[in-house]
Amino acid sequence: MNPVRVLVVDDSAFMRQTLKAMIEEDSALQVVATARNGRDALNKLVQYRPDVVTLDIIMDGEKDGLQVLHDIMADIPTPTIMVSGAGDENVSYVIEAISNGAFDFIFKPSGRPSDIEHIQHELQTKIKQASISKIRRNVGDCEREIAAADKADVVKTFSGEKKKGSLVFIGTSTGGPRALQIVIPGLKKNLPAPVLVVQHMPPKFTKSLAERLNRISELTVTEAAEGEILGSGHVYIAPGGFHLQIKENSDGMLVVHLVDTLPVHGVKPSADVTLDSLLSIRGRSYVVAILTGMGRDGADGLAALKDAGPDVHTIAESEESCVVFGMPKAAIETNKVDEVCKIHQVASAICNQYGLRGDE
């Protein structure tokens, strides 16, 4: 097989050489060129047509990484991995980048040997995954897909009034921020259920994601907090670095419980952990949606919950609209998925379970 061809973009000569060396430690990867600024990057993108780009998110010069990303997606769409410093000030830039077309991101190596080894493996893995992914479109396309949701041809599977205490669960990973920008704003403001979202992300990033979704949605979107009682019409994003479980208190209310245990499927938060916690709660009904992402997180939890009771409706994003078809594919393979639909149909599919139609 031919190696995956990579363009490295960074305004630091030292970082360009560091990333090049890290990438080429894997014989399946080849750095075909490096670029020092946005103009240089776009010229070399045309010249070399790489399979994947690594792009510094903060650069000196005429254009920063976000502007270069916009140009890449507009002119020569190419899977792009953002390279970010670890400072808190970079979190919002990363969220904006991966919501507007970037495949994923990595942190810059700090110089510690253990850190370099970890980031090198992560970088190599993400480059390989990016090379076989579908290009994620920019926010303008997301807005058009949101508008298209009301016209979506969604199977009408509403089966009557749901039981008290109904809950919506959404699990996603790579490609999730873009997918959530379509699904969450598409949910009706009078949705009679809380919405839990497990998005695989590090600490701090989930809070920034929640704030971004809150700005564009009719429902309130926040990062979930320990001990919080779930309320209808509210979206709760599981915080990075913790698993989120749901407990029932003495008053019969659903309560958030955060646990700092080992990663599951290599991730924390894990969709399976949240779904497994619902098994001990009786007399409830659930709508479970598994969206784009690598791996199989959520598949086992979805299947177990579906087997546990009749009031569980399961949805998987179709391969056609997924950035990475790993998580939905694994869910579908359990034979416990009721509905498979494109990303711009998912919100309608969820609302349909509550009898919400059109402008309701």
Tens digit of each residue's pLDDT (9 = 90 or more) over 158-196: 444 543 458 999 999 999 999 999 999 999 999 999 999
257 catalytic per annotation? no
pTM of the model: 0.89
Q: Tens digits of per-residue pLDDT, 65-84?
A: 999 999 999 999 999 999 99
Residue ranges covered by each domain of the chain = 4-136, 142-352
One-letter amino acid for residue 159 of the chain: S
CA distances from 9 to 55, 125, 223, 234, 307 (A): 5, 18, 33, 40, 49
Third-level CATH fold of 142-352: Rossmann fold (3.40.50)
Residues 6+ apart with CB under 8 A from 53: 6, 7, 8, 9, 41, 45, 72, 78, 79, 80, 81
Q: Which one, of 291, 169, 173, lies nearest residue 236 by Cα?
A: 169
φ and ψ at residue 119, rounded to 5 degrees: -70, -35
Same CATH fold, 142-352 and 4-136? yes
pLDDT at 357: 67
Residue 114 confidence (pLDDT) above 80: no
133 catalytic per annotation? no
Residue range 4-136, CATH number: 3.40.50.2300
297 catalytic per annotation? yes
Residue 232, both tokens: 């209808």
Catalytic residue among 84, 99, 133, 173: 173
Catalytic residue among 11, 51, 64, 200: 200
Catalytic residue among 11, 56, 64, 297: 297
Q: Tens digits of per-residue pLDDT, 322-360?
A: 999 999 999 999 999 999 999 999 999 999 999 886 555
pLDDT at 136: 52
- Taking CB atoms within 8 Å and a gap of at least 24, the contacts of 304-310 are 304/275, 304/276, 304/279, 305/275, 305/278, 305/279, 306/334, 306/336, 307/336, 308/279, 309/285
Distance (Å, rounded) from C-alpha 190 to C-alpha 22?
A: 50
The helix/strand/coil state of 8 is strand
Residue 28, both tokens: 């399946």
Query: 10 Å Cβ neighbour count for 224?
Result: 26
